[in-house]
Copies of this chain bind each other. A is one copy, B any other.
Amino acid sequence: MREPIGSQKSHGGSQKLPIGTCAIIGVGMMGGSLGMALKAEGLAERIVGIDRSETTLDAALASGAIDSGTTDPIVGAAEADCIVLAVPVDVLPALLERIRPHVRPDTLVTDIGSVKSRIVETGARLFGVQFVGGHPMAGSERSGIAAARADLFRGAAWAIVTENVNAAPDNSAPDNTFVARLTALVSALGAIPIRMNAADHDRIAALVSHLPHLLSFAYADTIAADPESELVLRMAGGSFRDLMRVSDADPALWQAIFHENKEWLRAALTAYETHLRNLRETLEAGQ
């Protein structure tokens, strides 16, 4: 087995490197963390970062999240053995269209977008089985490459999303080679791969991630509107901080996620409002 270039001074043998060149499109907090994690675990020979911003690429190079950077997704995609799209959900499908003609037939194409239905549909149409959707259930209220960290995905669930899961609910159908490659990669990152279809993913993501963010944004709005918000902030304890934390997240990013998952988020919110109303009625009844 050929030793990868530079393996002496970096990490284990080539059996620990399932990927040759990995292209990460969008080197923000999530994409940057993925680059760092891949390098920390010795899972890629080379990481090419692709981003609109030269400043971001410089910062990603300096932090060691990527080995080289380019602003051209076509150049980056053409040389990759694995492409991970880590851009906001609203621009992701168009980017899949754009790179399509330049991707090699054996390249694994995946993404880490928070809402999967439209992305998996677009990916399957353009790439067939070569595209496998993904969504690590890890994040931060911070955004940008400066907030990236190598251990972000450790212990986190990572949804692996294809429509084929429906066909074999008992998981008896063998994974195709691309699903198997992504599953192995996710496990090697210390995350927990969970296979599901896009509708199940989007319904559950609405409940466990999008709804908590919406509730946190509404709470931050409530606090900000209070006439004594300064005294309120001085009196804040643990339950306040818990509920406020994710409201620091980038509103534009979350607006796009909420919009993309509008139907399931509406359903989750309606369920929540029912339970909140029940508690309110118990309160009013003086129980």
Contacts and interface: CB of A to CB of B under 8 A. Distances in A.
Interface of A: 137-140, 156-157, 159, 192, 194, 196, 200, 204-205, 207-209, 211-219, 221-223, 225-226, 228, 231-232, 234-240, 242-243, 245-246, 255, 258-259, 262, 265-266, 268-269, 271-272, 274-276, 278-280, 283-284, 286-287
A170 to B, nearest CB: 15
Nearest to A228: B204
Contacts of A217: 279
Contact of A283 (B156, B219, B258): B258
The list of the 10 closest CB pairs from A to B, nearest first, reads: A137-B237, A212-B239, A221-B275, A218-B276, A242-B242, A208-B240, A212-B243, A218-B275, A239-B246, A222-B272
A229 to B, nearest CB: 9
Contacts of A287: 255, 259
Contacts of A280: 266, 269
A283 B275 CA distance: 21
B207 A239 contact: no
Nearest to A276: B218
B237 A138 contact: yes
Contacts of A205: 235
A243 B269 contact: no
A18 to B, nearest CB: 24
Contact of A242 (B159, B200, B218, B245): B245
A156 B241 CA distance: 12
Contacts of A235: 137, 157, 159, 194, 204-205, 208
A255 B279 CA distance: 10
Nearest to A258: B283
Given A159-B235, A235-B205, A219 B226 contact: no
Nearest to A242: B242
Contacts of A211: 219, 222
A265 B279 CA distance: 12
Contact of A243 (B234, B242, B265): B242
